[in-house]
Amino acid sequence: MNLWILLGIFLAVPLLLLMFGVGAFNRLVELKNRFENAFSQIDVQLRRRYDLIPNLVETAKAYMSHERETLEAVIQARNGAVSAEKRAAANPGDPAALAGLMGAESVLGGALGRLMVVAEQYPDLKANQNMMQLSEELTTTENKIAFARQAYNDSVTTYNTARESVPTNLIAGVFNFGEAPLFEIDDDAVRETPQVSFG
Amino acid sequence: MDFFEHQAAARKTSTRLVVLFGLALLGLTAGVYGLFSVLDMFNVRTAGVDSGVRFAAFDPLRLVLALALTGAFVGGGSAIRTYQLRGGGRVVAESMGARLISNAPRDAAEQRALNVVEEMAIASGSPVPPVYLLDKEDGINAFAAGYGPNDAVIGLTRGALESFSRQELQGVVGHEFSHILNGDMRLNLRLIGYLHGILLMTLFGRMLFYLGAHSPRIGRGRGGGSDKGAAPAFALGLGLLALGSIGHLFARLIQSAISRQREYLADASAVQFTRSVDGIAGALERLGGHAAGSRLYAPNAEEAAHMMFGSTGKWNLASFFSTHPPLDKRVARLRGLSKEQLARMGALKRSTRTSESGPGLALGLAGGESGMGWSDPEVVGLAAGSLTDEDVDYARDLLERIPPALRAAVVEPFEARAVIYALLLSGDPGLRREELVRLEAHADGRTYTATARLAPLTEALDPRLRLPLLELAARPLREMSARQYQAFRANLEMLVMSDQRVTPFEHALRGVILCQLDPLFGGRDLRRLGRLRLRDRLEEVGVVLSMVAHGAGRADRALDTAWGAGRQHLPPGLPVQPLDLRDADAAFERSLGRLWDLRPAELRLLLEALWLAAVSDGEVRVVEAELFRAVAAALACPMPPLLAGQPVEAGVLPAV
């Protein structure tokens, strides 16, 4: 009988440990996948917005040739955001890359905001059909970004909570599941841009 | 053998193989029992005759231990696998480095693929699966991954996207849909889980073997009093290692053979779904002639090998271990179809149900719970066997008539939500204004704006397009976070209940959302096996059938015909006349809620009766289509949808 008891313990303990470990590991992978997928949703919309901006600037140029600086600032901020986005998309979950993107995004938001304020002084531009359509699309895209960002932050929070809770944190430590960063933008600056109405 | 015999044969063979697989597991258990017996005998002998311990050939404790050991490994392996796939097919797709293209197709080829998948989904009455693209793979291949229709995804390689014609792509997507609808993914997951368990057992045996062999006591000489632990561990390890290896070999042979049969079945189903041999056979021929073939380079491709359209390349040499039959054999089977057989297809498709007992039985045997609605043989048979090219063409036609602005809105969650809200807004201007005000208060300003912008479009929408639009919108809604989903559900309920009544469309909408999304967000999974028969729920059945029979204001003779058509399909006990429904909406809702517990086969009968009632005058009205969808969705049955305006034949059931 001794043999059987020994065998039982020998079998049960490692098996239980293994099953727990695999379970915790899988859950972390799943949550990580989820927030990375959520990030790619933001990514899709960000790119869409970066594609819209040059058109917007092109249209505005015809009416406000005296505001070259403002326009150039927008293009520059956009280009900065594009490369920051590429970096962040290449390593989702990397705090430094995401911080870069957040910074670039708020610069872009500020530049766009200034452009919109200046544009207010040009009634012809405001009445331009193309401009109205572009700014409408920009608004919609901003809204989609905000929604996707909320989903991303929710799934990052779930992941971080799981990562820090006992006993999953043991597995997270061993297999290097790092803390994932939240995606927060200086919301007011960004929100102001699309709210300017060209109606 | 003709085409449908091939299909029947593939089902039958895979059933046999699954039985064989079960026997192999039993054999493994017997082997472990034998091993324990030998060890016990050894134990008794070393203990000496005077110890009073006797060896018995049959010892219940030993049997229990043998069962427990095999069960722990095989069950554990299976559980680990199931757990890994808990995130659904998207986890598999993403681990292969695939990119979700459903939200943002980048070129015409990607858009075309999405269209083909959407048409097939609408036509088969299953949720629209997310489509993933393996961007860096030039080989031609495709896969379906996931646990069931609700979390299935379809993946295509860049090579497939670029080399296939639309017709061939349709064939390939039809092939993958067959895997989804036939429950192949679930079956394979189980089998691979067991394989994994047997492998774990082998590894454990090896560990014991080494521990035993390297124990210092064994070096000092056998038979000494103190090495009682080491020698049996050595022997047990060796035994388990041998048993596990043999078991794994056999199990894997059988699993590959099953997989090959399911491929034939999926090829056959692709023809049935698209009514075209050229699509799927052309795709296979193209695959054969392609330089890169179906080879994949993604590190995790092996994981999904069994779900691939063509083999991933590694196992080609050892055909016994191959998960896919050779290409030329597959093409020959498809091309072997004579003109006459093709001409007979229309008639033949009605007789396929006799051969449908394969997959469900197989699943029931392989795993404890075959209770999921669509793994039931009958339900699957009806769904998979009745999708026709007319369905697909009609679905395509419907989808093309949805205004572009709405189609563009249902590709990502933010606006898809707004589309759902807009669809639910009341037609009454006063109430509508009230609903919008409430939406602005409960949802946020942005959602309100988007809804208000889309509302005129949904209001002007042809009612026949509402259901297909809803099915399209359900896909991106999966991208929401749990918190966003809770808010969405609350708003949905508010809009449905704002006028104190639930219309057929609202029933259908709620049913589809509940059935497809709730389980993903931790809600109750409604796909389970009921026990009740129709005769236990005659009253509710009567209410539902009456609603459909009344349809859009049928009366007198037409009403009686519709009622009669449904009634004669159901068990006796229903009144001769349709029920006079006073508070029809409330009664319908209450009845739907009480039909959950029906057995799948009985559900099918009910759905068939509703179908017969609806088509009794050879015409599908919007209200009928919506009621039918509501019942099918609420009861979690994948059914070929009744599409409003679709040409149907009175008194004819699909695939019966």
Cβ–Cβ under 8 Å, residues B245 and B12: no
What letter would DSSP give residue B635? T
How far apart, in whole angstroms, are the C-alpha atoms of residue B340 and residue B355?
Answer: 21
In angstroms, rounded to a whole number, what is the distance separating the alpha carbons of residues B76 and B574? Answer: 49
Q: Please tell me which residue of chain B has the smallest CA distance to A146.
A: B414
* Measured distance CA(B566)–CA(B616) in Å, rounded: 9
Element (H, E) at B145: strand B142-145
φ/ψ of B578, rounded to 5, equals -65, 155
Q: Report pLDDT digits (tens) over B593-631.
A: 778 777 767 777 888 888 888 888 777 788 888 888 777
Tell me, yes or no, if A155 comes closer than 8 A to chain B by beta carbon. yes
Q: d(Cα B77, Cα B395) in Å, to the nearest integer?
A: 41
The structure tokens 């600037």 sit at A57
**Closest Cβ–Cβ partner in B95, B204, B479 for A41:** B479
A-chain CB neighbours of B412 within 8 Å are 41, 44-45, 144, 148
Q: Is B176 a catalytic residue?
A: yes
B133 strand-pairing partners: B99, B156
Nearest CA in chain A to B89: A30
Q: Is A2 on the interface with B (CB under 8 A)?
A: yes
B59 CB within 8 Å of a chain A CB: no
| Tokens linked to A29 | 């992978």
Q: Residue A26 is nearest to which of B83, B413, B481, comparing CB atoms?
A: B83
Nearest Cβ partner for B229 among A6, A48, A148: A6
Q: Which of A3, A30, A158 sits opposite B86 (nearest CB)?
A: A30
Decide if A26 and B43 are in contact by the 8 Å CB cutoff.
Answer: no
- Chain B residue whose CA is closest to A155: B481
Which residues is B99 bridged to in the sheet?
Answer: B133
In 10 A of CB A61, how many CB atoms? 13
pLDDT of residue A101: 92
B413 → closest Cβ in A11, A29, A147: A147
Burial class (CB in 10 A: 0-12, 13-18, 19+), B522: exposed
pLDDT given for residue B600 in this prediction: 67
As a whole number of angstroms, the distance between CA B99 and CA A30 comes to 16
Instruction: Check CB contact of B90 with chain A, cutoff 8 Å.
Output: yes
Q: Does B146 touch chain A (CB under 8 A)?
A: no
Query: What value does the mean pLDDT of chain A take?
Result: 84
Nearest alpha-carbon partner for B175 in B154, B189, B159, B158: B154
- b/e burial code for range B549-566 (CB count within 10 A of at least 16 → b): bbbeebeeeebbbbbbbb
Whether residue A16 lies within 8 A of chain B, CB to CB, comes out as no
CB contact under 8 A, B482 and A158: yes
Distance from the A47 Cα atom to the nearest Cα atom in chain B, whole angstroms? 10
Cβ contacts of B415 on chain A, cutoff 8 Å: 140, 144
Average pLDDT of each block of 10 consecutive residues along chain B (656 residues)? 53 77 85 85 71 72 85 81 70 78 84 90 82 85 81 88 88 86 76 81 83 60 50 81 85 82 81 77 78 58 57 52 75 66 40 27 22 29 44 80 89 91 89 88 84 90 86 88 90 86 82 79 61 85 87 79 88 83 76 76 81 82 80 65 66 53
CA atoms within 13 A on the CB side of A111: 24
Give the closest residue to B426 by CA, choosing from B414, B417, B439, B415: B439
Amino acid at B239: G
Say if CB B66 and CB B33 are below 8 A apart.
yes
Question: Residue A30 and residue B91: Cβ atoms within 8 Å?
Answer: yes
Q: CA-CA distance, A122 to A141, in Å (whole number)?
A: 24
The first and second tokens of residue B7, run together, are 């299909």
- Count Cα atoms within 13 angstroms, Cβ side, for B547: 26
CA distance B279 to B181: 19
pLDDT tens, A100-154? 999 999 999 899 988 888 888 888 888 888 888 898 888 889 888 989 999 999 9
pLDDT digits (tens, 9 = 90+) for B438-482: 888 887 788 888 898 999 999 888 888 888 898 889 888 988 888
- Which secondary-structure segment (H or E) carries B77? helix B60-84
Question: Are A147 and B91 within 8 A, CB to CB?
Answer: no
Q: Do A15 and B76 touch (CB under 8 A)?
A: yes
Q: What is the ipTM of this complex?
A: 0.80
Task: Measure the CA–CA gap between B392 and B436, rounded to whole angstroms.
Answer: 36
Distance, CA of B355 to CA of A134 (rounded, Å): 58
Size of interface A-B (CB pairs under 8 A): 91
Q: How far apart are CA B535 and CA B71, in angstroms?
A: 39
CA-to-CA distance for B373 and B637, rounded, in angstroms? 6
CB B621 within 8 A of CB B643: no
For chain A, say whether B204 makes contact (Cβ under 8 Å): yes
The answer to whether the Cβ–Cβ distance between A15 and B479 falls below 8 Å is no
SS3 sequence of B216-265: HHHHCCCCCCCCCCHHHHHHHHHHHHHHHHHHHHHHHHHHHHHHHHHHHH
Residue in chain A nearest B42 by alpha carbon: A3
Task: Among A2, A23, A37, select the one facing B94 at the smallest CB separation.
Answer: A37
Q: Please state, in angstroms and rounded to a whole number, the distance separating the CA atoms of residues B24 and B211.
A: 28
Helix axes B600-614, B377-385, angle to 10 degrees: 40
Q: For residue B223, is it left (φ>0), alpha (ψ between -120 and 50) or beta?
A: left
d(CA A74, nearest CA chain B) in Å: 24
Query: Chain B: nearest CA to A143, how far in angstroms?
Result: 6
B176, B415, B602, B624: the catalytic one is B176
Chain B closest-CA separation from residue A76 CA (Å): 25
Nearest to B104 among A2, A4, A44 (CB): A44
Instruction: Looking at the complex, report in whole angstroms how far the Cα of residue A88 sits from the nearest Cα belonging to chain B.
Output: 16
Q: Which two tokens stand for residue B252?
A: 């894997």
Q: Is the dihedral of CA B131, B137, B140, B146 positive or negative?
A: negative
DSSP 3-state helix, strand, coil percentages of chain A (rounded to 5)?
85, 0, 15
Q: How far apart are CA A10 and CA B208, in angstroms?
A: 10
Residue A67, min C-alpha distance to chain B (Å):
31
CA distance B469 to B502: 19
Nearest CA in chain B to A137: B450
Residue B72 and residue A34: Cβ atoms within 8 Å? no
Q: Tell if the CB–CB gap between A11 and B204 is shorter than 8 Å.
A: yes
Q: Residue B5: its pLDDT value, please?
A: 57
CB-nearest to A4 from B65, B84, B87 is B65
Position A34 confidence tier, pLDDT thresholds 50, 70, 90: confident
Answer yes or no: do A41 and B228 touch at CB < 8 A. Answer: no
- What would the two tokens of residue B282 be? 């052309």
User: Taken in order B433, B438, B439, B445, is the CA torsion positive or negative?
Assistant: positive
Q: Encoding tokens for residue B249? A: 């070999």
| pLDDT > 90? residue A80 | yes
Interface test with chain B among A2, A5, A6, A7, by most B beta carbons within 10 Å: A7
Q: Which pLDDT value is given to residue A52? A: 92
Please list, residue by residue across B212-248, b when 16 or more beta carbons sit within 10 angstroms of its beta carbon and e when fewer do: beebeebeeeeeeeebbbbbbbbbbbbbbbebbbbbb
Q: Report residue B87 as tokens.
A: 């995130």
Give the whole-angstrom CA distance, residue B550 versus residue B525: 32
Please tell me the predicted confidence (pLDDT) of residue B304: 54
Tokens of A113: 């905001």
A110 backbone φψ class: left, alpha, beta (φ>0; ψ -120 to 50)? alpha
From CA B265, how far away is CA A186, in angstroms rounded? 55
Q: Measured between CA atoms, how close is B42 to chain A, in angstroms?
A: 12
* Neighbour order of strands in the sheet with B131-134: B99-100, B131-134, B153-157, B142-145
Alpha-carbon distance A68 to nearest alpha carbon in chain B (angstroms): 32
Q: How far apart are CA B18 and CA B356, in angstroms?
A: 16
Q: What is the pLDDT of residue B11?
A: 67
Q: If you measure CA to CA, which chain A residue comes closest to B479?
A: A38
Report the alpha-carbon distance of residue B223 to residue B272 in Å, rounded. 68
User: Tokens standing for B580?
Assistant: 């006079």
Residue A37 to residue B90, Cβ atoms within 8 A: yes
CA-CA-CA-CA torsion sign (B619, B625, B627, B631): positive
Eight-class DSSP state of A173: H
On whether any CB of chain B is under 8 Å from the CB of A15, the answer is yes
- Cβ distance A155 to B481 less than 8 Å, yes or no, reads yes
Mutate to test the interface with A, among B32, B203, B414, B454 (most CBs of A within 10 A): B414
